[in-house]
Structure formats: C-alpha cells, structure tokens
Amino acid sequence: MKAAVINERGALPVIQDFKDPAPQEGSVLINVDTAGLGGWDVLGAYRLGVEYPCVIRGEGVGRNAEGTRVYFGERSVLPFGAWAEKTLVPAEEVWEVPDHIDDRTAITMGIAATGALVPLEAANIKQGETVLILGGTGTLGQIALQLARYLGAGKVVAAGRSAKALARLTERGIADGVVCLKGDESDIQALKSEAGEGYDVVLDLVCGQPLLYALKACRWGARIMTIGTGAGRQINLDIADLLFKTLSCIGTGQRPPADRQKIWQRLLKISQEQNITVDYSEFSFSDTSDAWQAQQAGPHAKIYAKLK
C-alpha cells in the first residue's frame, strides 16, 4: 500500500510503498478515506522510543471490512497510522460515524474538540463569566472559544502570537476580544485590557510565560485549566498570583475508550446544533511533506488529506 512514512528521527515523511497491515485479533482493518494531522503527530513522531520506519499516526475516517464508515483516533497499531491507504486500529477505538456527519467534522470533533470540552466543563463556567483561551488561534482554540460560549460564557477572549490569525477569529465572530502576545511584560496590560474585572476562567494551551502573565489578569476565584506546554513546561511562579485561584492540569486523552466515544458522540451533536466551525487546510496525499511542515509551523487550521 501507499503510505506517508517517516524513515528516521527528524526526517520529513515521504509517500512510499509500505507493508499492508495484517488482520489481528481485537483490532479492525480500515480502508482510510480521510486523514487528519495534529500537533501531537509532529511532536510524538520524533520522541524517544519510536521505531522507524513508521506511518504518520493521525486520526481519520474510513471503512471497515463490512463497509461501515468509522472514525478512529491516534491509536493505530504500530507501525501503522491514518496517513496510509490502510491501517489497523484496536476495536474499542473504532467508532461509527453517523451519515449526516462529514469526514472533516468527525475528525475535528475527536482529539481537538475533546481537548477543549473536558477542561471547560471541569472549570464549571457560570453564566456571563469571562473566559480566556490562551493559545486560541489553533484548531483546539477555535473550538474552545465556541464551546465556552455554549457553556455560558458572557465574553470569550483569544490570546495568541499571530495578529493575522487573531483577526480571523474576530472576522468569524467567534471571539469577543483578542490579545496579540508580544512575549514581554507588555502582555500583562494587554491581557488586562480585555479582561474587564478579570478573567473567571483561563483555558491554557501553552503554559510558560504567557500563563504567568495571564494569572495577573485573573480575578479572585478564577479557574485556570492547563492542557498544553508549547511555551514551556517550567514556570517561575509567584505564589501570590495563585492565591485565591485554582490551577488545574487536565489530561483529556487518558480516559477509557468508551468514555471518549461518548464525549465524541456528544460533540458531534453539539457541532451541528451550535454550528461549531474551524478553519481547514486541505493537502493532497502526495504533498504530505508540505502538510507536515505546515503543521510544524503552526497552521491555525485543521490539516487534512483525502486518500480516496
């Protein structure tokens, strides 16, 4: 079969022939129709312990042996993955897609939307509260802005480094305010200027210095939900900034498959009822290396490719 293969650590994926997955008890063979790419695919591909060559993991939509259309997440049996004509996935990670849901939505409501909904619900947003999405220009951030409103937020603010991507959020009407982060202490006042009396909830996708600045713009009783570390894992925290606030680190992908499936099914319904939208960037399968580099650069859109 044809597959997008990484042959060594640090190498770009290339389209080449790769062995077909063989049937395996407890797993499902899937003919892939659409493959999605996310930040973890890029970060995880070069981590210690990965054996090469391997297919890009990704999440996707395809059909099983019976022809049923199914979604599967980033849990293909190694060395296989979504970016290939075929993959092999543990049966509990294969979920049927309703006919009225398109491939892109099924994929986007998987890892990204789950990563937004779980911590936002844990934050217990109250009607009318102000919510900051720190790192709000990517796929997860775009979804989080819309879900925060759905959960009752009165004002949703996106913070990020790309002025163009932030302007796009305003243009689409999914952010009430935006903050363009400069990477210095001027960010504190910029964050405060959009906070009103202070942020009630912060969904932190980046950690690092941006989180420290955001803490200074929070009101007493604020809930800070950290799910990402793109701006740094270690912070030099002034405990005074955390007093009377709650800081939680939320892992969204470690729940049992049945629980994640229920969340995904619920998100499919919400996406239709609330018209949840994200920006997409489509690549041809033959241009997978370009898609990979776009993901590395931070695309501010969900990258995907049609294989059929």
Query: Do 216 and 283 share a domain, yes or no?
Result: no
How much is the pLDDT for 49?
85
Query: Do 36 and 96 share a domain, yes or no?
Result: yes
What's the CA gap between 165 and 178, in Å, rounded? Answer: 10
Is residue 263 in some structural domain? no
Question: Does residue 16 register a pLDDT over 60?
Answer: yes
Query: Do 69 and 144 share a domain, yes or no?
Result: no
Measure the CA dihedral 227/233/237/239, to 10°: 40
For residue 186, give every residue at least 6 positions away whose Cβ sits within 8 Å of its Cβ, in sequence order, or none: none
What's the CA gap between 89 and 26, in Å, rounded? Answer: 9
Is residue 271 in some structural domain? no
Query: Do 29 and 49 share a domain, yes or no?
Result: yes
Is residue 254 in some structural domain? no
How much is the pLDDT for 252?
60
CB 98 within 8 A of CB 70: no
What's the CA gap between 274 and 263, in Å, rounded? Answer: 16
How much is the pLDDT for 44?
87
Question: Does residue 166 register a pLDDT over 90?
Answer: yes
What's the CA gap between 61 and 110, in Å, rounded? Answer: 11
Domain with 186 in it: what CATH number? 3.90.180.10
Is residue 270 in some structural domain? no
Query: Which pLDDT tens digit goes with each residue over 105-148?
Result: 999 999 999 999 999 999 999 999 999 999 999 999 999 999 99
Query: Do 155 and 173 share a domain, yes or no?
Result: yes
Is residue 260 in some structural domain? no
Amino acid at residue number 262: K
How much is the pLDDT for 57?
95
Segments forming the whole domain that contains residue 238:
114-249
How much is the pLDDT for 214?
94
Query: Do 98 and 120 share a domain, yes or no?
Result: no
Least-confidence region, from 167-176, 248-257, 275-284: 248-257
Is residue 267 in some structural domain? no
% of the chain beyond a pLDDT of 70 = 94
Total domains in the fold of the chain = 2
What's the CA gap between 116 and 40, in Å, rounded? Answer: 15
Name the residue with tokens 């395809």: 62
Angle between helices 208-215 and 186-193 (to 10 degrees): 50
What global pTM score does this model have?
0.94
Read off the pLDDT of each residue in 51-72 and give the average, rounded to a whole number: 98
Amino acid at residue number 47: R
* Buried residues in 89-105 as b, exposed as e (16+ CB within 10 A): bbeebbbebeeebebbb
Q: Which two tokens stand for residue 108?
A: 């986007």
Query: Do 76 and 121 share a domain, yes or no?
Result: no
Query: Which pLDDT tens digit goes with each residue over 82-91?
Result: 999 999 999 9
What's the CA gap between 226 and 46, in Å, rounded? Answer: 24
Query: Do 60 and 93 share a domain, yes or no?
Result: yes
Is residue 265 in some structural domain? no
How much is the pLDDT for 249?
63
Read off the pLDDT of each residue in 45-58 and give the average, rounded to a whole number: 92
